[in-house]
Amino acid sequence: MALDKINNLPADEQKLLRRALENPEFTNIDELSVSNQDLIKTVTKDPNLYLFLADVFDSQTILIYDTPDSDVKVGITDGYVEVVKMIDEETFSINDEKQHIKVEKIVEGPSENVVTPRSNTWIKIPNPGGGWEFTGSTWYNIQLQEYFINYTITALGIIIGLYCGALAGILYACAAFLISSPYAPYANVAKVHKWRFDHMDYPWLYKRASNVCYAHFQGTDTHVGTENLYYERVF
């Protein structure tokens, strides 16, 4: 799926990503543990199975891989490799270095009807058009140990995705909004408001999720970007 999406990108970005996939050059792999090195080699050798996302942000190639452990992801930013692991509700690690995190979840409306791009019954699609009916929302308040600017966009996207639950998948877009915002050097608290919608005409066929991202700084929540995701049921 992620490999197919590369074909929809501009030609120069396609070239960068295919080079990164076919001839990976890991700039820091010798600094990692043997187990992490083995994991990286395993997932990058089989992008058809493990590649979750491939994109270019600010001229940097961004690759995110699934692993056999759903709490562990491999992120590569222009060859810089990070193994990100969710250890528990308050601890994660990047390349085996532990960091603390605080996450508050506030559900508004009905419980989440979990939909993900990797679900067995739903796939991500372009906007099918038509109207949408609001079905509920959830706030995630995320306090990180470091300021946003101290994370790569890849690692930050993985962290937010892991701690925002299955519906979030990898919130790479939100990470991009936060890191490119003027608050990146000063803020370490993000808020994600996840809205859920059913299609008004075909609620059994289409769903929409909107991730509204905020940076919290000096007592104020500032909107930094919104990502809309659309899903279709597969029978």
| Nearest by Cα to 224 from 159, 186, 174 | 174
Show the tokens assigned to 61. Answer: 């190639």
- pLDDT per residue over 65-119, tens digit each? 999 999 999 999 999 999 999 999 999 999 999 999 999 999 886 655 545 444 4
Q: Mean pLDDT lowest for which of 42-46, 122-126, 137-141, 149-153?
A: 122-126
Instruction: Give the mean pLDDT of 149-175.
Output: 84
Distance (Å, whole) CA 149 – CA 151: 5
Distance of CA 188 to the CA centre of its chain: 17
Helix/strand/coil percent split, the chain, to 5? 25, 40, 35
Question: Under DSSP, is residue 46 helix (H, G, I), strand (E, B) or coil?
Answer: coil
- pLDDT per residue over 119-143, tens digit each? 447 788 899 999 999 999 999 999 9
What per-residue confidence (pLDDT) applies to 118? 47
Of residues 121 and 22, more confidence is placed in 22
Q: Are 170 and 64 in contact (CB under 8 A)?
A: yes
